[in-house]
Structure 1
């Protein structure tokens, strides 16, 4: 498996491969940055997003999700090509898992990250599916999942 197109078994043009690489690198760097922010300067904003119904300590949730984001981001940046589809699926599942926090922020009217109106918080919800799609597309996760479903 020497090229990205082999990792997901979908032939693509050099432009598409470059776009996928850039998207994966952007997502990896963004996750590492977000994870570091969970552990440091944005910790309180993230705590505000933990829904009240989560039966765990807010700070634990924020710290744990920060560590997971750093690990996922590093994996997106440095994992061997054969592992990228699995990393993409795990990243997509992570984005699904944290989505209730975003919904909770909107429903409960919690101000955090500069989102201080219901419209801004609602708009943010529409970006989570985009992150899921980028995680799957940029890593070959879509193709990997399709192969598993066909078997």
Structure 2
């Protein structure tokens, strides 16, 4: 078991911002953006679109709350959130390929394509703000 990785004030601020964003996004999955999020669920997924949206909303809220309040496990939450962002990425690609509008702003191929480039940013944000990058580098040099 390695020691707790320290993070800077700016990393903590960005971690809390990401946590807030995740809780808000999760809440919006369950309420006012529910139909828009269904546009991101690929047609080939063998589950109901509404079930996927509800479940992913619950996961987003849990990850956001974990990022905000479970300091000792923030690295684990950073990796879990990065994995979550990777797992939902096929939905973003499907939304682009299927030309499905959502959220008012995702109403063109250009807007949907630009959005795809933000997924790596979210992954990096999760890993950096939680100290997961630093933890991984530290573990790598200890081996």
TM-score (norm 1): 0.86
1:8 pairs, out of 5, 13, 33, with 5
Alignment length (residue pairs): 139
Mapping of residues 1-150 of structure 1, within 5 Å: 7-8=4-5, 17-80=8-71, 82-114=72-104, 115-149=106-140
- Where do 5+ consecutive residues of structure 2 fail to align? none
Structure 1 runs (4+) greater than 6 angstroms displaced? none
- Where do 5+ consecutive residues of structure 1 fail to align? 1-5
Q: Distance in 2 between matches of 1:149 and 1:40?
A: 42
Q: Distance in 2 between matches of 1:36 and 1:127?
A: 21
Q: Distance in 2 between matches of 1:7 and 1:26?
A: 21
By how many angstroms is 1:149 displaced?
4.7
Q: Distance in 1 between matches of 2:139 and 2:103?
A: 38
Determine if contact 1:7/1:140 at 8 Å carries over to the other structure. Answer: no
